[in-house]
Chains A and B, each alone.
Chain A
């Protein structure tokens, strides 16, 4: 009997929680494709400045090569000022990804904190927080962006803050709803009976159980932020003009869409691929985090 147990114990591979999640994630093809694209875009975003010179390749105007259709020399063609669209789209990764991620991080930090407090403490804390959220939500995101950017000035930081604030209500609501379902679970009461402090219960027991809906929300938020940033760039309130943010590329190409559709096509594809990658990864990550789906 004892020998049998020994054999059994050798077979059991002890894995840490993180490794276990990673193992489940790697089994999900969609998530891995999404992750691969995200990693690629991130590497690209971090290194573009090493191989693309902003002054000569992005901002410089080349009158000889206006509206060249996609060819070997210019894979995505050139725009009305003869600039290489391929290089501009690649360079734009830096802006779009950075704004998308930072805007989401801002919305998450504020939204999760507020949602956790509102959900856990209930009335009156809940009432105060949720009424403020209602007010923020009553203002259209783009209008809020316009107000904040024109008040603080057009810069990337202000753009991130403006779009981030617009995303706070969504994340607060998602977090609060998740906290409400979790906080009355018996294991939360059990955690209190064991003597855990309120802060520890909130961060260690409630939050991890709310992670799936928040992750899905955050993924969608990245897409939302990238789109909102494009809208504001279109209005001239985003990243200053010669910078090839995908949204501004899209709106710059809009004037020539009838004759040179590729000017809109490639930045659009870049946005779609990025958004899709985040969605695929978010879905896979949610499945991997939920031990109940484990086979």
Chain B
């Protein structure tokens, strides 16, 4: 594991938003290490802080109202936290790039798609306009769009095609790290599969490390090596794909799995997690999940859980594991 290059290194990242005298803690103490060519799935409910974490990795949080605190944010050895604006501009797009959630709005409507891919190439590589255009057209073909369509405008493309263009833009300079923020949420299922398949191919081709932000566990199972489960701004469970899926430890992760329809048991009712995520402006002092957790004790509401090591590939933040024989239901069934 240590032999591979670390391309993204985030240590104890916290992001707060100071609005109207109130402090919203969006992300708290998040540590992420990403090695070359691996894919991390960042899973969690809406508002868990997934996108904020991603934006912080690019140092794209608006300050103010945002406040970023971290021991370290490094992309390919570049310190993102203390870099100057023009240095950041060099790193963004070249070393780290991001695919946004909604392909409908992440392309500029007044430029044709070829120009938008070309722009990103011109910015980071010393190429003439013609060479950059040629490379843009190659990228377009790579994502399965004929080069003749390079002169067309975003509104002439379907949603799936637009997302391909967005992917072409973010991969144009072969970044080491690619953050995909729910890249398939806005697409229908058949196109989802195509886009995911294509992203996997491109990842393998270029050895790009990826963070896949999603709330679809199916996508995680299909495309990720590691999984981090976020809840109320914290990573509450982290491990390899196999560990998280087959050796689930955290009650919240269990809740996520229980919320999925089961193809083998069609009459069984879904078990959604009751309640709502706490307001980021008033996160409880104990475990943030305690109020919704079927296993919670009074102790859980008072004490913030430490991160416990399950094994080398798996950590979990749950207080109950201090009790030697505690086990959540899903693990009992699987184990």
Contact = CB atoms under 8 A, between A and B. Distances in A.
Nearest to A206: B108
B119 A194 contact: yes
B189 interface: no
Contact of A195 (B112, B124, B155): B124
A190 to B, nearest CB: 5
Given A185-B105, A292-B155, A190 B98 contact: yes
A259 interface: no
Contact of A9 (B98, B100, B148): B148
B169 interface: yes
A187 B108 contact: yes
A208 B146 CA distance: 27
A208 B153 CA distance: 14
Interface string B76-108: 000000000110111111100110111001111
Nearest to B169: A194
Given A192-B60, A195-B124, A291-B155, A17 B93 contact: no
Given A5-B146, A186-B105, A209-B108, A194 B151 contact: no
Nearest to A198: B85
Contact of A189 (B60, B86, B93, B119): B60
Nearest to B153: A291
Interface in B237-275: none
B170 interface: yes
Contacts of A196: 89, 119, 123
Contacts, number: 86
A59 to B, nearest CB: 50
Interface string A119-132: 00000000000000
Given A5-B146, A8-B148, A291-B153, A194 B109 contact: no
Interface residues of B, number: 37
B206 interface: no
Interface string A30-69: 0000000000000000000000000000000000000000
Interface string A174-205: 00000000000111011111111110000011
B106 A186 contact: yes
A5 B146 CA distance: 9
A186 B111 CA distance: 15
Interface centre among B58, B109, B115 (most CB of A within 10 A): B109
A198 B146 CA distance: 32
B146 A193 contact: no
A3 interface: no
Q: What's the interface size class on A, roughly? A: 20 to 34
A289 B155 CA distance: 14
A75 B105 CA distance: 58
A15 B151 contact: yes
A198 B94 CA distance: 17
Given A185-B105, A292-B155, A190 B100 contact: yes
A195 B94 contact: yes
A288 B56 CA distance: 39
B1 interface: no
A17 B112 contact: yes
Given A192-B92, A193-B98, A187 B169 contact: no
Contacts of A17: 111-112, 115
Interface centre among A9, A196, A289 (most CB of B within 10 A): A196
Nearest to A17: B112
A258 interface: no
Contacts of B276: none
B107 A187 contact: yes
18 contacts: A12-B148, A14-B151, A185-B105, A187-B105, A187-B106, A190-B106, A191-B108, A192-B58, A193-B98, A194-B123, A195-B91, A195-B94, A195-B124, A196-B119, A204-B119, A208-B108, A208-B110, A208-B111
Q: Which 9 A-B pairs have the closest CB atoms?
A: A195-B93, A195-B92, A194-B93, A186-B105, A186-B106, A193-B98, A12-B148, A208-B110, A187-B108
Interface of B: 58, 60, 85-86, 88-94, 97-98, 100-102, 105-112, 115, 119-120, 123-124, 146, 148, 151, 153, 155, 166, 169-170
Interface of A: 5, 8-9, 12, 14-15, 17, 185-187, 189-198, 204-205, 208-209, 211, 289, 291-292, 294
Given A187-B109, A190-B100, 15 more contacts: A12-B148, A186-B101, A186-B106, A187-B105, A193-B92, A193-B97, A194-B92, A194-B169, A195-B88, A195-B94, A195-B120, A208-B111, A209-B108, A211-B110, A291-B109
